[in-house]
Structure 1
Amino acid sequence: MKTLKMLVLVVAIAFSSVLAASTNPIEEAQPSTLTEAVGDLLKNPDFQLTKDVNAVVDLIINENDEMVVISVSTDNKAVERYIKNRLNYKKLSKDAIGLNRSFKVPIKMVETN
């Protein structure tokens, strides 16, 4: 009886360690480029556009790996405020930044129906 209990215990430990080792934790996908990171941050605006808007965002990366918007060149003031509010001081992953510290990112916001 003692050996049977010991055998069951060994099998249970072996089985649980195999199950624990075979799980794949779900990792949140990090954007791999700066344009992907900016695109993710600018999703789902809280306003409607009546026509397509193009903008060029001039930004730098500070020592804390955060984006700092220098300027947004567009005629639409609502889009300019939206871009500045969404991008300023948002932290980026090391993969998205690369070696450069200054960027010009073209943005096209399309009309929503």
Structure 2
Amino acid sequence: MKKLILVVLIAVLGTANTFASVPVETPAQKLRSEIIKLLDAPRINLEKEETIANIEFTLNSKNEIVVLSVESDNSQVERYVKNELNYQKVNGGIESRKKLFKLQLKIMKP
């Protein structure tokens, strides 16, 4: 009986360690994932192999993205990011509404 209890205890502890080692996504990572989904598959004519856009945004009280600036050498990319992200509701779980977020977006030529 003691051996059975010991085996069950080891099995439970082993399972707990397995679940504890699963990486947990932070609220910032969840927010980034949501933004990537919103900006998926842009229909933009790119002259270069890749274009980089630096995006600055914040969240309002309704959990909507408010794009403050988009810096890119391609004006189509700037318009695309602003049109696709501005006032889109997200569920990232970020508590600080006055926080400034910065995200670098890399768009590759298909």
TM-score, normalization: structure 1?
Answer: 0.65
| Long gaps (5+) in structure 1 | 1-31
Corresponding position of 2:31: 34
Corresponding position of 2:40: 43
Residue of structure 2 aligned with 1:82, choices 74, 80, 99: 80
Deviations 1:29-49 (A, max 9, x none): xxx611111110111112232
Corresponding position of 1:28: none
Change (3 A) 1:97 1:80: farther
Corresponding position of 1:61: 59
Deviations 1:14-71 (A, max 9, x none): xxxxxxxxxxxxxxxxxx6111111101111122323210111000100111000000
Deviations 1:50-101 (A, max 9, x none): 32101110001001110000000111100000000000000011xx142343
Tell me the amino acid that sits aligned with residue 38 of structure 1: I
Change (3 A) 1:44 1:38: same
Identity %: 35
